[in-house]
């Protein structure tokens, strides 16, 4: 068995680099740290390549300090791996998204193109409107462009995010993928499958199945919840919790080993990443507060007690230092005692071994209840 026909790779997605989640400095670094961890895992497992299924960046707006760190990490990875582990990416909807207006702009810019121009990643994209023969040109290392690349006996095809109706392109993609070349076919796409996440639209599985005889491993990104279908479709989920709900999802990366016997056999192992710890706590107000200081002290004392087992000897950059989601329930404080979430979160973070506090107010207003009654 020649080693050329066996290979391994990591499949990650939805890294959301550049996120300034909750305007928290430690959170913004968490996304970069986890990306670093993925690259380290690539070196540790000596994989042949790493796939990034889109949403590598959270938006076009990235602070210079963060981009500097990302480029530094990629340069270090390049030398630590002796330039032997290509990072192969596609653009997701977030990579081309302008955060401040929340709308997509179609100027074709992305930080992934910038990283590709520096030779730090391989960015795949297809001539989606071209004929099947023109659709996936081989990656050109001088132009830093192309739709497919071969690594060992794997051939990786990729396109950018295809919009809300990617299924219209699937028959064309199928026709463009070569049959019977003896290679293991990977297709990277940024879309979800209908039914894998509640209330989130995706493509109908039946429509994706036309790719089945051309693609051995469909590498997806987009849905932040991890899923696999029929040992054929793989979605690792977001690598850090990119929004509040993500904290509750199963997420991570896949480490894939492919062996060539008379056909290809793949072993896909999910790996969990060292994510930021988070916790939910609830405090009930049994009386109506009308003194702000008393109320704040009540919350602090309650939390000190609820969190007394937390370690206070860790640096906040350590992901074991938690982010707290605080739910306030019970009797709504008096109008004069309105909760200043920003201030309260600040004093709680200064007092307790936490990196930040998100406050949710779910009070019952006794007066309103009576009003309704009459």
Residues that bind Mn ion (CB under 5 A): 14, 55
- Choice between 33 and 97, CB closer to Mn ion: 97
Cα distance from N-terminal residue to C-terminal residue, the chain: 83
Note whether 222 and 236 are within 8 A (CB): no
* Residue among 295, 54, 85, 297 nearest 192 (CA): 54
Alpha carbons 212 and 210: distance in angstroms, whole number: 6
Note whether 1 and 260 are within 8 A (CB): yes
CB of 15 to Mn ion, least distance (A): 9
- Choice between 22 and 249, CB closer to Mn ion: 249
Residue carrying the six token digits 């469909």? 218
- Choice between 59 and 153, CB closer to Mn ion: 59
CB under 8 Å to 267, separation ≥6 — which residues? 256, 257, 258, 259
Note whether 260 and 153 are within 8 A (CB): yes
- Choice between 14 and 216, CB closer to Mn ion: 14
- Choice between 14 and 48, CB closer to Mn ion: 14
Alpha carbons 139 and 149: distance in angstroms, whole number: 6
CB of 190 to Mn ion, least distance (A): 8
CB of 224 to Mn ion, least distance (A): 6
- Choice between 236 and 322, CB closer to Mn ion: 236
Q: What SS3 state is found at 215?
A: coil
- Return the residue nearest Mn ion (CB atom): 55
CB of 92 to Mn ion, least distance (A): 6
- Choice between 99 and 298, CB closer to Mn ion: 99
Note whether 300 and 346 are within 8 A (CB): no
CB of 57 to Mn ion, least distance (A): 10
Q: Provide the H-helix boundaries in the chain.
A: 25-44, 64-80, 111-117, 132-135, 170-176, 205-208, 292-306, 341-351, 366-373
Give just the sign of the alpha carbon dihedral 57, 63, 67, 69.
negative
CB of 243 to Mn ion, least distance (A): 9
| Two structure tokens written together for 185 | 């076919």
CB of 237 to Mn ion, least distance (A): 9
């Amino acid at each position: 068995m020649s080693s050329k026909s066996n290979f391994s790779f990591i499949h990650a997605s939805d890294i959301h680099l550049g996120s300034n989640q909750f305007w928290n400095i430690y959170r913004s670094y968490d996304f970069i740290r986890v990306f670093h961890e993925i690259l380290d895992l690539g070196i540790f497992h000596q994989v042949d390549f790493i796939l990034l299924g889109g949403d590598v960046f959270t938006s076009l707006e990235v602070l210079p300090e963060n981009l500097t760190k990302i480029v530094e990490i990629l340069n270090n990875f390049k030398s630590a791996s002796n330039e032997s582990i290509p990072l192969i990416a596609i653009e997701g909807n977030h990579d081309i998204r302008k955060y401040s207006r929340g709308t997509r702009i179609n100027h074709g810019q992305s930080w992934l193109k910038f990283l590709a121009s520096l030779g730090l990643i391989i960015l795949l994209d297809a001539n989606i409107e071209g004929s099947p023969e023109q659709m996936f040109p081989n990656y050109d290392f001088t132009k830093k462009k192309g739709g497919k690349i071969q690594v060992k006996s794997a051939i990786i095809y990729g396109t950018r995010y295809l919009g809300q109706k990617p299924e219209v392109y699937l028959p064309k993609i199928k026709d463009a993928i070569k049959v019977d070349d003896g290679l293991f076919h990977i297709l990277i796409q940024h879309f979800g499958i209908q039914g894998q996440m509640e209330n989130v639209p995706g493509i109908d599985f039946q429509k994706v199945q036309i790719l089945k005889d051309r693609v051995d491993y469909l590498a997806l990104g987009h849905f932040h919840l991890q899923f696999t279908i029929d040992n054929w479709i793989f979605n690792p989920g977001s690598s850090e919790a990119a929004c509040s709900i993500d904290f509750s999802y199963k997420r991570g990366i896949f480490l894939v080993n492919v062996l060539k016997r008379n056909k290809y056999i793949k072993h896909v192992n999910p790996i969990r990443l060292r994510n930021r710890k988070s916790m939910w706590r609830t405090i009930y107000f049994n009386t109506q507060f009308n003194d702000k200081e008393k109320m704040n002290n009540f919350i602090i004392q309650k939390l000190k007690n609820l969190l007394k087992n937390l370690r206070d000897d860790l640096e906040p950059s350590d992901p074991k230092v938690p982010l707290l989601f605080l739910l306030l329930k019970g009797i709504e404080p008096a109008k004069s005692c309105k909760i200043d979430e920003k201030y309260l979160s600040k004093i709680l973070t200064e007092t307790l071994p936490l990196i930040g506090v998100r406050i949710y107010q779910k009070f019952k207003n006794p007066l309103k209840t009576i009003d309704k009654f009459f």
